[in-house]
A and B are shown apart, each in its own frame.
Chain A
Amino acid sequence: MATMPASASDLLKSFKLKTKQQELLIRVSILCLVYILAFITRLFSVLRYESMIHEFDPYFNYRTTLYLTENGFYDFWNWFDYESWYPLGRIVGGTLYPGLMVTAVLIYRILRFLRFAVHIREVCVLTAPFFASNTTLVAYFFGKEIWDSGAGLVAAILIAVCPGYISRSVAGSYDNEGVAIFALLFTFYVFVKAVNTGSLAWSLASAFGYFYMVSAWGGYVFIINLIPLYVLVLLITGRYSMRLYVAYNCMYILGMLLAMQIRFVGFQHVQSGEHMAAMGVFFLMQVFYFLDWVKHMLSDTKLFQAFLRITVTSAVAVGGIALGLGMVSGYISPWTGRFYSLLDPTYAKDHIPIIASVSEHQPTAWSSFMFDFHILLFLFPAGLYFCFKRLSDATIFIVMYGLTSMYFAGVMVRLILVATPAVCLISAIAVSATVKNLTVLLRSKNKVVQTGSTKGSGGSKSSSKALLDQSQPFQKNGAIALLFGAFYLLSRYATHCTWVTSEAYSSPSIVLAARGAHGNRVIFDDYREAYFWLRQNTPQDAKVMSWWDYGYQITAMGNRAVIVDNNTWNNTHIATVGRAMSSYEDEAIEIIRSLDVDYVLVVFGGVTGYSSDDINKFLWMVRIGGGVFPVIKEPDYLVNGEYRVDKGAAPKMLNCLMYKLCYYRFGEMMTEYGKPPGYDRARGVEIGNKDVKLEHLEEAFTTSNWIVRIYRVKPPNNRW
């Protein structure tokens, strides 16, 4: 074992490489390996399941990408979709971020041009891993920019396997975030580079990076607020420079103009409250520049002080008045609910139940921080310490990025994703700096020992030196121990990441897998069974009503029009569906007929014990429905504030449409040995109303494990 490094270095020497070249070779090969690792670790989902699109939103993205490949960009841009939000429809081209689809189609076209006969689905499935690989490269360069190339390498490795990022970028997770994190980090990196160099070229690159980010994800708002904040902090700390001026102005103006080309964003950069900070800072920069110029002109400092005071006050006053006027006149829109809910975590719960109902919008639990970051959670503060020790424009940026994104990660589970690159970079600084310090310690000691040994017994000088370094053996041992500790931690991190990826984040959630009684793998493919049934055996123009979670999947896989889907733009429409689901059948049928619905689809986990079904989501339907239609009252469905479906359940609960559709003929079903018929395995109770009669709806299809149940709306009875 001990001879290995020697032989390796001999090998390198035999190639006649200089130390610098050796270092380059090692660095490039590590980066290549990391690039590949980042890609293949995300393929667990393909190995465990299949090459398929995951979850909910990716199905919409996939459907639009298909449309884009088949009909071309202009049709895509002008696409009015009749299949969703029936009868309203949706202007798809104007209400989405097209970056992801355009990227996938571009990759597809290039591969096709190079004569690779790939299917667009494979491209979509692998887009996220591919961009994750690219992110590792950006992380390397970013780390190199803010600290050194060692930190860059560590950052690349950390981000390649970090679960916080993998959760949104496994193969098949064809979502905006997949490319957006790359765009985000790229924009930040190039902007920091521009600030460091004052180069117009880098600044231009950051404007384009920003444009790509805007085209890909709504999270661009984070960039357009963080960068001004950063600039502001630099201004306050007296780090104003020409470099900063060039970088920010070019990036802001060009980035803003480019971003306006995206239809969904439009003029928000000059009209919406969320983007006003950037504009304010832009004007502030001009004031600074002006002041700088005046200072240059005026030799009298006292006079300048007075001038400064007047200018700053008037500038702030003018800005404040302009903002106030804009707000009052309605030219500048106020902050949106989503933005508010970020600043005030309790806001959504009280005002926007539709945001609060989404599980990924919940405040983050400590365990999920631990799950997603593992040791990075401890390395993060250490990294911050190193950053503060060596403050520069770049480290200030990463500190600000880290702190703000950590706050947002605490507010919403899904925003852990935004924090991940920052956490990885800062932790990488900690790891790299620590390991570097320790190895320097070891190396210098080795030299001393070596010199001591070569010089032999003689020489009072060396002996005195040895006396001086008496504490060093302990230091050396300590350093070795610490190094081992660090490597142990990092190896734990690697195992943890692999385990999390393979166990937790690779499930497509369309196909459910469970362990059977004999340890074999049981697959529940009920969703696709139902969607495919809809696709093949219902009329082409059938309208399907379901809770909005399944809207995208029904349109993408079932190819049928839906009433509401995951693009929750119309709260009233969703509330109407919620009201229908929570009313008695004869009331619901009125709503159903008025919406021209042909089929009603519910998801039911009582047979399999699948807990995220419609009965468990039902209270949200009641809340959202009740938010618009006060006829629906949440307490009607509860008994002493408790939600139950057994005999003790509220009478309204036992007779509402959702209950009836889920439990229709379930009372005859034996689900578990030794339990009475009608035993709901998801909630572990015997249901309260076993004699469910349907009057206006009839069972059209139920999947083999009962997870999806589809009902046909009967035509009205003849009056004669």
Chain B
Amino acid sequence: MEAWIRARVTLALTLFALLFFVSRSSPPRQFVISNAERRIDLSSHIINVHLTLKVENTGTRPASEVVLALTPTEVDHLAMVDALAIKGKRKKTTSVHLEVKPTELPDAPPIDAKYFTIYLADPLNSGESTTLEVLYVFMHFLEPFPAEIAQSESQLVFYHDTALILSPYHIKQQTTFIKTPSTKVESFIRVEPTNRVGTEIKYGPYEDCPPYSISPIHVHFENNSPFAVVEELVQEIEISHWGNIQVTEHYTLVHAGARHKGVFSRVDYQSRQFSNGASSFRYLLARLPARVHSVYYRDEIGNISSSHLRTNSLKSELEIEPRYPLFGGWKATFVIGYGLPLQDFLFESSDDKRYLNFTFGCPLIGMVVDKLTIKVVLPEGSTDPSPVVPFPVEHRLEAKYSSLDVIGRTVVVLEKKNFVPMHNSHFQVYYTFNPIFMLAEPLMLASAFFMFFVACVAYIHIDLSIRK
């Protein structure tokens, strides 16, 4: 309840600031958005917002920087923003990836907003227009209300937004579609014209909205999709040039939905599966690479016996079940480990370097990861590691001592916060490695045994007794 009030107060304040600002100045922008369509998908706890903007340059000079505005709360929960430029007409459309960067506006009005700039590939000439598609992905954005539910209740959540798109530009016409997971919608704020059909709520079309105009709305609806969140995932990829890649993943999983309150009754949970614990979840699916072997699934106190592995030549699927069903607020930690054949992931580049090509992501499907750490453990003796990741990550180097290591292995640590499945992509780690190091450990072992036998022979042949 309190959070809800706070949100309203924030919105009201924003509105005040906005009115204040509108009365004072007008934006010196040269773009006008002739048409904006927004589709918000609320079916899971990962919120996808597809924004289609038709941008028209009404200024005198060519310009290539289009600015997007988001409220600070949105930015706090923003996992990714992606922009595409749509070219061509009708069926022959092609899309081009555009660079998006957070920016500060030097002449920013005193409004509480954060900005992202899209850099168009070709500057837009005066009078021309182009179509942009923007994808925002938000996480932890749905607020469960009531915040605590009993086992038999289903989960209701709030979605806060504005009916009018926040933008530094004038928008001539805009429409917003909100898709809810089911038809059970407790309440939503109308900003006429508003229309609700089935699982979709349509706001708009609204004509001629001045810059920075907003109109707060909320939707209160049922969402029983599993709010599974990995609070922390540490993935360790250990490369052995003897032919194996060992991956170990440490998960801290939490149900981030409405907290479970009171009794957990096994009788009800077993006998009335659908009406009971609707928002809880039991099964998780991990998609692992093909040709995976020696898979294990365990936690601090031992093996967890409830898992199934299905493999085929293209992919492997690991269905796992935590030790207990997860209700709101319940936690579980576990480890998944598997081996992979080296030749599928390690390649040689042209400049005599080797590189690992691996998926940057969480194998569990539909999972939001608050903090994802990938540790690539390079073989002992490898030098000049350099990671190549398609999006910004923090990276640093560590050392690790594994079996029979003397000088330690170089570990490339990559860290990414607020990770959503849309981030899944490949990354590479380049390094140089001299194959002679492969022999170090077997030679060490062999010489140790040799020394042992020599010692035995020496002991037998030397007479250590004092008496003669």
Contact = CB atoms under 8 A, between A and B. Distances in A.
Interface of A: 50, 52, 115-117, 510-511, 523, 525, 528-529, 531-533, 535-537, 557, 665, 668-669, 698-704, 706
Contact of A698 (B262, B331, B402, B403): B262
Contact of A665 (B267, B329, B330, B403): B267
Given A52-B302, A115-B405, A532 B265 contact: no
Nearest to B404: A115
A117 B402 contact: yes
A701 B403 contact: no
Given A533-B323, A665-B265, A116 B403 contact: yes
Nearest to B299: A532
Given A537-B331, A702-B266, A523 B305 contact: yes
B80 interface: no
Contacts of A536: 330-333
Contact of B324 (A50, A52, A533, A668): A533
A62 B437 CA distance: 37
B301 A701 contact: no
Interface string B256-268: 0000001111110
Given A115-B406, A698-B262, A532 B301 contact: yes
B401 interface: yes
Nearest to B329: A537
Given A523-B305, A525-B305, A532 B401 contact: no
A533 B305 CA distance: 16
15 contacts: A50-B302, A52-B302, A511-B302, A528-B302, A535-B300, A536-B331, A536-B333, A668-B267, A698-B263, A699-B265, A699-B266, A701-B264, A701-B324, A702-B265, A702-B266
A706 B271 CA distance: 14
B111 interface: no
A665 B330 CA distance: 23
A50 B264 contact: no
A510 B324 CA distance: 17
Nearest to B268: A665
List the 4 shortest-distance A-B pairs measured between CB atoms, nearest first.
A702-B266, A536-B331, A529-B323, A50-B303
Interface in B401-453: 401-406
Interface in B243-297: 262-267, 271
B331 A117 contact: no
A528 B334 CA distance: 13
A703 B306 CA distance: 14
A116 B305 contact: no
Contacts of A532: 299, 301, 323-324, 332
A538 B329 CA distance: 11
Contacts of B185: none
A561 B199 CA distance: 49
B267 A537 contact: no
Given A52-B302, A115-B406, A116-B404, A525 B263 contact: no
Contacts of A698: 262-263
A699 B266 CA distance: 9
A669 B306 CA distance: 23
Nearest to A531: B301
B125 to A, nearest CB: 60
B304 interface: yes
A529 B324 contact: yes
Contacts of A531: 301
B28 to A, nearest CB: 55
Nearest to B403: A117
Please indicate which of the listed interface residues A52, A116, A531, A701 has the most CB atoms of chain B within 10 Å of its own CB. A701
Contacts of A706: 266
Nearest to A694: B263
A115 B403 contact: yes
Please indicate which of the listed interface residues A115, A510, A511 has the most CB atoms of chain B within 10 Å of its own CB. A115
Contacts of A116: 403-404
A174 B401 CA distance: 27
Nearest to B303: A50
Given A115-B404, A536-B331, A525 B266 contact: no
Nearest to B260: A537
A704 B404 contact: no
Interface string B20-46: 000000000000000000000000000
Contacts of B300: 535
Contacts of B266: 699, 702-704, 706
Nearest to B269: A702
A585 to B, nearest CB: 16
Given A50-B302, A698-B262, A699-B263, 18 more contacts: A115-B401, A115-B404, A115-B405, A117-B402, A511-B302, A523-B305, A525-B323, A528-B301, A532-B323, A535-B300, A536-B331, A537-B329, A537-B330, A537-B331, A557-B301, A700-B264, A701-B324, A702-B264
A699 B264 contact: yes
B300 to A, nearest CB: 8
A117 B265 contact: no
Nearest to B296: A50
Contacts of B406: 115
Interface in B357-409: 401-406
Interface in B222-254: none
A124 to B, nearest CB: 13
Nearest to A557: B301
B441 to A, nearest CB: 9
Contacts of B299: 532
A200 B349 CA distance: 70
Contacts of B404: 115-116
Contacts of A537: 329-331
A703 B262 CA distance: 16
Contact of A528 (B263, B323, B330, B331): B323
Contacts of A525: 304-306, 323
A515 to B, nearest CB: 15
Nearest to A533: B324
A241 B332 CA distance: 68
B69 to A, nearest CB: 41
A525 B305 CA distance: 8
A665 B267 CA distance: 7
Please indicate which of the listed interface residues B300, B323, B333, B405 has the most CB atoms of chain A within 10 Å of its own CB. B323
A536 B299 CA distance: 12
Contacts of B333: 536
A532 B335 CA distance: 14
Please indicate which of the listed interface residues B304, B324, B329 has the most CB atoms of chain A within 10 Å of its own CB. B324
Nearest to A112: B401
A52 B265 contact: no
Nearest to A705: B266
B168 to A, nearest CB: 46
Contacts of A117: 401-403, 405
Nearest to A117: B403
Please indicate which of the listed interface residues A523, A535, A703 has the most CB atoms of chain B within 10 Å of its own CB. A535
A523 B262 CA distance: 29
Contacts of B401: 115, 117
Contacts of B306: 525
A511 B301 CA distance: 12
Contacts of A703: 266, 324
A85 B116 CA distance: 59
B285 to A, nearest CB: 20
B89 to A, nearest CB: 56
Interface in B100-122: none
B263 to A, nearest CB: 5
Nearest to A556: B301
Contacts of A52: 302-303
B248 to A, nearest CB: 12
B445 to A, nearest CB: 10
Contacts of A529: 323-324
Contacts of B271: 668
Nearest to B304: A525
